[in-house]
Amino acid sequence: DQQVKQNSPSLSVQEGRISILNCDYTNSMFDYFLWYKKYPAEGPTFLISISSIKDKNEDGRFTVFLNKSAKHLSLHIVPSQPGDSAVYFCAASEQGGSEKLVFGKGTKLTVNP
Amino acid sequence: ETGVTQSPTHLIKTRGQQVTLRCSSQSGHNTVSWYQQALGQGPQFIFQYYREEENGRGNFPPRFSGLQFPNYSSELNVNALELDDSALYLCASSLDRGLSPLHFGNGTRLTVT
């Protein structure tokens, strides 16, 4: 039973355009959501997070949107850069922080020059 | 600031053997979490240690056990290895049980033959 789903295994975009990565969840007890980026042979790196009391959080080129009624969140990267090419994981927690994270399977983003 | 370091980077074991993986937390962090990432999957929570005590456990059997030491470094022990234990094992440190985002190490790749 997958509680966090990333239905697109891969995404390819052109440099300078917007990248939109999607994530759906089924557990209504999740109250904190995070995005991590992972390069090959490295551990995941924290990117951005959002609490369930918000519907948007922005940090530079990265914005996360949360739609609680649809149990859906998305990560927008604008503009996309070749260095953004990585696997992006969506994660969720019931604890209000980074405890006991439940991860999706990831989406591999490729940004073409 | 020293990041999270894990050792060894790669390991090959035979089914039925026991293995110990090690992790040094990021400086100042008192919480360590361990995750298993099977091929093509997202990381899955194994357990968390806070100030040397287990503080939550995922859906893993008792043959997965851990320790956290006074300097906040940690070990993951797996007994009676099975083929399905082959995975990337990720250690992550944080402050105060997840009030801060997890900082991951680069992982230990375990292969069980």
Over range B27-44, report the average pLDDT. 94
The per-residue pLDDT of chain B, averaged, comes to 94
Q: In this complex, which of A41, A97, A104 lies closest to B98 when CB atoms are compared?
A: A97
Residues of A in contact with B58 (CB under 8 A): 100
Over range A8-34, report the average pLDDT. 97
pLDDT surpasses 90 at A2: no
Over range B90-98, report the average pLDDT. 87
pLDDT surpasses 80 at A108: yes
Residue B44: which of B30, B33, B54, B31 has the closest Cα? B33
pLDDT per position as a tens digit, B65-78: 999 999 889 999 99
| Any A CB within 8 A of B23 CB | no
- In sequence order, what are the residues at sequence separation of 6 or more whose Cβ sits closer than 8 angstroms to the Cβ of residue B87? B36, B37, B38, B39, B110
Contact present, A20 and A39 (Cβ < 8 Å): no
| Any A CB within 8 A of B4 CB | yes
Q: Which is more confidently placed, B96 or B64?
A: B64
- In sequence order, what are the residues at sequence separation of 6 or more whose Cβ sits closer than 8 angstroms to the Cβ of residue A37? A44, A45, A47, A84, A86, A87, A88, A89
pLDDT surpasses 90 at B99: no
pLDDT per position as a tens digit, A77-96: 999 999 999 999 999 999 77
| Any A CB within 8 A of B39 CB | no
**Amino acid occupying residue A21:** L
Q: Which sign does the torsion angle of CA B57, B44, B109, A87 carry?
A: negative
pLDDT of residue B1: 58
Smallest CA–CA separation between B72 and chain A, in Å? 17
pLDDT surpasses 90 at A60: yes
